[in-house]
Structure 1
């Protein structure tokens, strides 16, 4: 793998992972020595700074993360500002259903079922206190585990998760992958 391919792979990994990653983790994933990874990351940081991109790579001890630049905070704040009476999107509802039926579950597992990223949906569900972080998996990267909250039970007027309707009770055909994955509870 040439240097540009390594940079491209690191950028993709940092973007997709969203949490800080250690040099060791990057080294293992890319099968490249830690010294080379450090050198490539240093180059990337300089390149991102020089080209004044909207994103940057930040270093925290031996961990690296892709982040937006602080000077764009006001724009992002407007985008993510809570909106009055904002409902729940179809994507968030699908994500919530997956979490409710498959919990505890990681973001990656949700994305595998849905086939798309779910960062915004999870953020919305956390904001509305329908889901919560319930810990971290004991594996590389220690991904967050999500589950529903007491507020979820309250909003949907159910006393426990055992009272969730069985997917087969719905008058829908089970032909989509999402429904099949939920159905195989």
Structure 2
């Protein structure tokens, strides 16, 4: 650590950076701005995270896939909506959740892949998830037609309280088979009616 900067001064600088940016900031950018190495910055940020968790504070620092963001704690929502405009709540229907799950676990994935897994057209759910900012275009597949690849966003991680994609629950293949069998039985019952 630079002898010219004390730990408390470095913490204040990082706090100001995170507060001002209002979005997730990569560790390397924080290190460059503070003229410190990444390990020192990571230690200071972890200390800040612990401090905000221990104290009765309305804010917290969260880690999102190797980047850090300052935000309000979820417990403060009710108080905040009284003073701020109520944010538009996005309703995630079963179809949207199913599509989002496919993108999260299979990313990067094309719309054709999503439709193959779901068994139905997926224009609407993909467009809604793009509109909600939960998925984004992540490039194009090197194949005929160059279809768009979709992946989840930081907004997805933030909304679901996930630090990185590695934190997603592991899906048991046997449960998937059970689910497929159950879905086929339900579909058959609907056809028999």
Report the TM-score, using the length of structure 1 for normalisation.
0.47
Report the TM-score, using the length of structure 2 for normalisation.
0.45
Q: Which protein is bigger by CA-based radius of gyration?
A: 2
